[in-house]
Amino acid sequence: MKISKKSWFTIVFGFLIMAAVSLSFVYYQGAGEREHLQADLLLARSKLSSVDTSTLTYQQEKLEGDLNQAYKEYEADKEKFIQSIENIDVSNILYSTANVNSVNITEMSSSDVSSEVIEGASCLALTVDAKVVGDVDNLVAFITQLNDDLPNGVVRSVNIGIPYPAGDSKPSVSIQVVIYTYKES
Protein backbone atom coordinates (compact mmCIF):
# COMPACT_ATOMS: atom_id res chain seq x y z
CA MET A 1 0.00 0.00 0.00
CA LYS A 2 1.40 3.18 -1.18
CA ILE A 3 0.76 6.51 0.48
CA SER A 4 0.56 9.54 -1.67
CA LYS A 5 2.49 12.73 -1.14
CA LYS A 6 -0.65 14.53 -0.11
CA SER A 7 -1.35 11.92 2.55
CA TRP A 8 2.22 12.18 3.83
CA PHE A 9 1.92 15.92 3.98
CA THR A 10 -1.37 15.67 5.91
CA ILE A 11 0.08 13.15 8.37
CA VAL A 12 3.24 15.23 9.00
CA PHE A 13 1.20 18.42 9.25
CA GLY A 14 -1.14 16.71 11.79
CA PHE A 15 1.82 15.58 13.92
CA LEU A 16 3.29 19.06 13.82
CA ILE A 17 -0.01 20.60 14.93
CA MET A 18 -0.30 18.04 17.79
CA ALA A 19 3.28 18.78 18.85
CA ALA A 20 2.66 22.54 18.71
CA VAL A 21 -0.54 22.18 20.77
CA SER A 22 1.24 19.96 23.30
CA LEU A 23 4.20 22.35 23.61
CA SER A 24 1.94 25.37 24.00
CA PHE A 25 -0.10 23.52 26.65
CA VAL A 26 3.08 22.70 28.60
CA TYR A 27 4.36 26.28 28.20
CA TYR A 28 1.14 27.87 29.47
CA GLN A 29 0.93 25.39 32.34
CA GLY A 30 4.54 26.22 33.33
CA ALA A 31 3.81 29.94 33.02
CA GLY A 32 0.82 29.56 35.35
CA GLU A 33 2.93 27.64 37.83
CA ARG A 34 5.66 30.30 37.60
CA GLU A 35 3.11 33.06 38.33
CA HIS A 36 1.80 31.08 41.30
CA LEU A 37 5.35 30.60 42.66
CA GLN A 38 6.16 34.29 42.17
CA ALA A 39 3.02 35.23 44.14
CA ASP A 40 4.05 32.83 46.92
CA LEU A 41 7.56 34.31 46.91
CA LEU A 42 6.19 37.85 47.20
CA LEU A 43 3.96 36.79 50.09
CA ALA A 44 6.87 35.08 51.88
CA ARG A 45 9.08 38.15 51.38
CA SER A 46 6.40 40.46 52.76
CA LYS A 47 5.96 38.21 55.82
CA LEU A 48 9.71 38.00 56.29
CA SER A 49 10.13 41.76 56.07
CA SER A 50 7.47 42.26 58.74
CA VAL A 51 9.37 40.04 61.24
CA ASP A 52 11.34 42.09 63.78
CA THR A 53 14.67 40.30 63.75
CA SER A 54 16.13 42.49 66.49
CA THR A 55 13.55 41.11 68.94
CA LEU A 56 14.30 37.57 67.86
CA THR A 57 18.03 38.20 68.18
CA TYR A 58 17.51 39.64 71.67
CA GLN A 59 15.37 36.66 72.68
CA GLN A 60 17.98 34.24 71.33
CA GLU A 61 20.78 36.01 73.20
CA LYS A 62 18.70 36.04 76.40
CA LEU A 63 17.89 32.34 76.11
CA GLU A 64 21.54 31.51 75.40
CA GLY A 65 22.54 33.55 78.46
CA ASP A 66 19.95 31.74 80.58
CA LEU A 67 21.21 28.40 79.28
CA ASN A 68 24.83 29.31 80.09
CA GLN A 69 23.82 30.48 83.58
CA ALA A 70 21.87 27.26 84.20
CA TYR A 71 24.84 25.21 83.02
CA LYS A 72 27.21 27.12 85.34
CA GLU A 73 24.83 26.55 88.27
CA TYR A 74 24.62 22.87 87.35
CA GLU A 75 28.41 22.57 87.29
CA ALA A 76 28.71 24.41 90.63
CA ASP A 77 26.10 22.16 92.23
CA LYS A 78 27.73 19.10 90.73
CA GLU A 79 31.07 20.12 92.27
CA LYS A 80 29.41 20.26 95.70
CA PHE A 81 28.23 16.68 95.31
CA ILE A 82 31.24 15.22 93.51
CA GLN A 83 33.12 14.44 96.73
CA SER A 84 32.65 10.78 97.57
CA ILE A 85 30.76 9.88 100.72
CA GLU A 86 33.78 8.02 102.08
CA ASN A 87 35.80 11.27 102.04
CA ILE A 88 33.24 13.32 103.98
CA ASP A 89 34.06 13.26 107.67
CA VAL A 90 30.49 13.61 108.91
CA SER A 91 31.23 12.73 112.51
CA ASN A 92 33.90 15.45 112.81
CA ILE A 93 31.51 18.02 111.33
CA LEU A 94 28.76 16.94 113.73
CA TYR A 95 31.02 16.99 116.79
CA SER A 96 32.67 20.32 115.94
CA THR A 97 29.28 21.94 115.26
CA ALA A 98 27.98 20.51 118.55
CA ASN A 99 31.01 21.88 120.38
CA VAL A 100 30.57 25.37 118.89
CA ASN A 101 26.91 25.39 119.96
CA SER A 102 27.48 23.98 123.47
CA VAL A 103 25.47 20.78 122.96
CA ASN A 104 26.49 17.15 123.43
CA ILE A 105 26.01 14.28 121.00
CA THR A 106 25.01 11.25 123.07
CA GLU A 107 24.33 8.76 120.27
CA MET A 108 25.24 8.53 116.59
CA SER A 109 24.72 5.83 113.97
CA SER A 110 24.70 5.63 110.21
CA SER A 111 23.09 3.38 107.66
CA ASP A 112 24.58 1.87 104.54
CA VAL A 113 25.02 4.08 101.51
CA SER A 114 21.93 4.04 99.31
CA SER A 115 21.07 5.33 95.86
CA GLU A 116 18.57 8.13 95.40
CA VAL A 117 17.41 10.21 92.46
CA ILE A 118 17.13 13.93 93.15
CA GLU A 119 15.54 16.02 90.41
CA GLY A 120 16.65 13.49 87.82
CA ALA A 121 20.25 13.16 89.06
CA SER A 122 21.53 9.87 90.48
CA CYS A 123 23.10 10.37 93.91
CA LEU A 124 24.51 8.27 96.70
CA ALA A 125 23.06 9.03 100.14
CA LEU A 126 24.44 8.37 103.59
CA THR A 127 21.94 8.70 106.44
CA VAL A 128 23.25 9.59 109.90
CA ASP A 129 21.02 9.50 112.99
CA ALA A 130 22.11 11.36 116.10
CA LYS A 131 20.72 12.22 119.53
CA VAL A 132 21.87 15.59 120.89
CA VAL A 133 21.35 17.05 124.38
CA GLY A 134 21.53 20.72 125.41
CA ASP A 135 19.55 23.91 125.98
CA VAL A 136 16.71 24.51 123.51
CA ASP A 137 18.30 27.67 122.06
CA ASN A 138 21.61 25.88 121.57
CA LEU A 139 19.89 22.88 119.99
CA VAL A 140 18.13 25.13 117.47
CA ALA A 141 21.41 26.93 116.71
CA PHE A 142 23.14 23.54 116.28
CA ILE A 143 20.55 22.35 113.72
CA THR A 144 20.65 25.65 111.85
CA GLN A 145 24.44 25.69 111.67
CA LEU A 146 24.52 22.03 110.66
CA ASN A 147 22.55 22.88 107.53
CA ASP A 148 25.19 25.52 106.71
CA ASP A 149 28.17 23.27 107.53
CA LEU A 150 26.98 20.47 105.22
CA PRO A 151 26.55 22.01 101.73
CA ASN A 152 25.80 18.60 100.25
CA GLY A 153 23.69 17.44 103.18
CA VAL A 154 20.33 18.17 104.67
CA VAL A 155 18.72 17.68 108.05
CA ARG A 156 15.85 15.45 106.99
CA SER A 157 14.04 15.17 110.32
CA VAL A 158 14.15 16.69 113.79
CA ASN A 159 12.31 15.41 116.87
CA ILE A 160 12.61 17.70 119.88
CA GLY A 161 12.08 16.34 123.35
CA ILE A 162 11.53 18.88 126.13
CA PRO A 163 11.05 17.29 129.56
CA TYR A 164 8.04 18.33 131.61
CA PRO A 165 8.29 19.52 134.32
CA ALA A 166 11.82 20.77 133.97
CA GLY A 167 13.95 18.57 136.16
CA ASP A 168 17.37 17.04 135.98
CA SER A 169 16.99 15.88 132.36
CA LYS A 170 17.88 18.29 129.59
CA PRO A 171 16.05 18.98 126.33
CA SER A 172 17.17 16.74 123.47
CA VAL A 173 16.73 16.33 119.75
CA SER A 174 16.90 13.30 117.55
CA ILE A 175 18.03 14.30 114.08
CA GLN A 176 18.43 12.50 110.82
CA VAL A 177 21.02 14.00 108.46
CA VAL A 178 21.42 12.82 104.87
CA ILE A 179 24.67 13.45 103.02
CA TYR A 180 24.49 13.33 99.21
CA THR A 181 27.17 12.85 96.61
CA TYR A 182 26.84 12.79 92.84
CA LYS A 183 26.90 9.34 91.30
CA GLU A 184 28.35 9.23 87.78
CA SER A 185 26.11 7.22 85.48
Q: What is the pLDDT of residues 84-108, one digit of tens each?
A: 455 457 778 888 899 999 999 998 8
- 122-140 confidence digits (pLDDT tens): 888 888 899 999 988 999 9
Amino acid (one-letter) located at 64: E
Q: Which of 47-51, 143-147, 169-173 has the lowest mean pLDDT?
A: 47-51
- Burial (0-12, 13-18, 19+ Cβ within 10 Å), 21: exposed
The predicted structure's pLDDT at residue 137: 92
Cβ neighbours for 174, distance < 8 A, ≥ 6 positions apart: 129, 130, 131, 132, 157, 158, 159, 161
Q: What SS3 state is found at 162?
A: coil
Question: What pLDDT digit, counting tens, does each position of 32-65 carry?
Answer: 888 888 998 888 888 877 777 777 788 888 999 9
Q: Within 51-158, where are the H helices?
A: 53-81, 90-100, 136-149
The string of pLDDT tens digits covering residues 7-32 is 888 888 888 888 888 888 888 888 88
81 pLDDT tier (thresholds 50, 70, 90) = low
pLDDT for the residue 80: 57
Task: Compute the half-sphere exposure of residue 45: CA atoms within 13 Å on the CB side of its CA.
Answer: 6
Q: How many whole angstroms separate alpha carbon 58 and alpha carbon 47? A: 20
d(CA 172, CA 135): 8
CA distance 162 to 169: 9
Q: Contact at 8 Å (CB) between 85 and 115?
A: no
Each domain of the chain, given as residue ranges in start order, spans 5-79, 85-182
- What CATH number is given for 85-182 in this structure? 3.30.70.60
